[in-house]
């Protein structure tokens, strides 16, 4: 989010603006804008921005935590304030809600991976493999939360140790994404390993009991 865009948002929302924050989603930086009210005319004005933010009203933000605990946990842990009061740090995430969304996410991503594999060939398979790390990062963050683990750089290693699952394939794919390594084996094997990772996630979530 550029300084120009921040000033544009301030001009559009005026006293209606609550906060502007930047947060990380995998390798990407995104911007969250929170306002008190959001009508269509305001939305239309925000559409003219060079960089389109994620926009919530304050009411939607506070009442949506139970519906989207994974997303809001990520925002809470990985945000930088650009303007306004930091109400994000006070989010209270329910482990029961987190477990419920984790189950939905892992099942959805498993179905998606299988479906895309059946349709994709060549470079599309490469992209499917390389997109796995940012796609699965929120699930890993959720599992850390359920396991009462502090947010660290080595999230994959910590989750592997805590739950006794082998996630080395995600570290390998991350190195490929960063240009530190190349594909070392048949692409089919990467898909097979990713499917196993998702099955392992499912087992962890199914066995987890909210205290």
Rg (C-alpha) for the chain, rounded Å, is: 19
The residue written with tokens 């559409």 in the block is 47
Q: Using one digit for the tens of pLDDT, what is the confidence trace for 138-177? A: 899 999 999 999 876 788 889 999 999 999 999 999 999 9
Cβ atoms within 10 Å, residue 27: 11
Position 211 scores a pLDDT of 72
The residue written with tokens 């990985």 in the block is 78
Confidence band (pLDDT; 50, 70, 90) for 19? very high
What whole-number distance in Å separates Cα of residue 149 and Cα of residue 204? 15
Position 25 scores a pLDDT of 75
Q: Using one digit for the tens of pLDDT, what is the confidence trace for 34-49? A: 999 999 999 999 998 8
Region 125-139: what's the mean pLDDT? Answer: 90
CA torsion angle 155 158 162 166 (round to 10)? 80
Confidence band (pLDDT; 50, 70, 90) for 26? low
Q: What is the CATH number of domain 3-90?
A: 3.30.460
* Nearest alpha carbon to residue 9 among 111, 1, 86: 1
Region 90-100: what's the mean pLDDT? Answer: 93
**DSSP classification of residue 41:** H
Which of the two residues, 153 and 195, has the higher pLDDT score? 195
**Domain ranges for the chain:** 3-90, 95-207
């Amino acid at each position: 989010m550029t300084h120009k865009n921040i000033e544009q948002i301030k001009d559009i929302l005026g006293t209606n603006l609550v906060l502007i924050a930047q947060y990380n989603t995998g390798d990407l930086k995104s911007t969250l804008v929170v306002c008190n009210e959001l009508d269509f005319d305001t939305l239309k004005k925000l559409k003219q921005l060079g960089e389109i933010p994620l926009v919530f009203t304050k009411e939607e933000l506070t009442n949506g935590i139970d519906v989207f605990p994974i997303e809001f946990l990520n925002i809470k842990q990985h945000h930088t304030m650009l303007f306004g009061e930091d109400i994000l740090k006070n989010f209270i995430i329910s482990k029961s809600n987190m477990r419920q969304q984790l189950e939905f996410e892992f099942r959805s991503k498993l179905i998606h991976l299988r479906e895309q594999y059946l349709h994709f060939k060549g470079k599309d398979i490469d992209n499917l493999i390389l997109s796995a790390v940012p796609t699965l990062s929120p699930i890993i963050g959720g599992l850390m939360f359920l396991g009462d683990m502090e947010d660290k750089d080595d999230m994959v290693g910590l989750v592997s140790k805590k739950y006794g699952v082998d996630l080395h394939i995600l570290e390998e794919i991350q190195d490929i994404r960063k240009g530190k390594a190349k594909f070392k084996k048949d692409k089919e094997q990467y898909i097979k390993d990713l499917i196993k990772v998702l099955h392992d996630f499912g087992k962890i979530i199914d066995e987890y009991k909210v205290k």
